[in-house]
Amino acid sequence: MTRTLRLILAAVVTLCATACASYKDIKVTGCELTAIVPRGLTSFDATMDISVSNPASEITLSEMNALVKLRQEPCLHLTAEDVTIAPRSENVYTVIFHGDLDGEFNPFSLLPLLRQKDFSEVTIDLGFRGTLRSGLGKYFEYKDIPVTDLLPQQ
């Protein structure tokens, strides 16, 4: 389950960091899941170190949230704390995620997914606000993004 969570979080972070049209040159160059802390039976906190190459201006990502769906059914709600990406730099950022299983979701339905590592039925709805240093910003929203399009090719 840790590998699946790591891949899903990496996909979410990649989308958040690269979705601004004027910031299309921002690249996530690596990520590592550094900690997962359960908060009861249906919630967790996760920490990831994410390497970002930013040739553009400073940008702050806020109001980050994602809904992970399996076969179009909600299974995991994710939020992340705000991150400010430094201008014209290559840095490692520590991002803290908070996750909650959807109340209607049966976690045992993940077992075949983890065994086969077939993510073709997993999609993500993503929303976040990108704000420039000047204070100008825009809310970005993406629906039904296939996870397989975001994962590194093996």
pLDDT tens figures, 27-85: 878 778 788 888 888 888 988 888 888 888 898 999 999 898 888 989 889 999 999 99
Which fold is adopted by the domain 2-148?
A: Immunoglobulin-like (2.60.40)
Centroid of chain to Cα 54: 18
Looking at residue 110, its amino acid is: L
The pLDDT value recorded for residue 21 is 41
Nearest Cα to Cα of residue 65 among 105, 13, 110:
13
The pLDDT value recorded for residue 68 is 87
* Secondary structure element (H or E) that encloses residue 3, with its range: helix 2-18
> With contact defined as beta carbons under 8 Å apart, do 92 and 50 qualify?
yes
More confident residue, 138 or 106: 138
Predicted model pTM: 0.72
The pLDDT value recorded for residue 84 is 93
Can you tell me the distance from the alpha carbon of 10 to that of 50, in angstroms, rounded to the nearest whole number?
A: 8
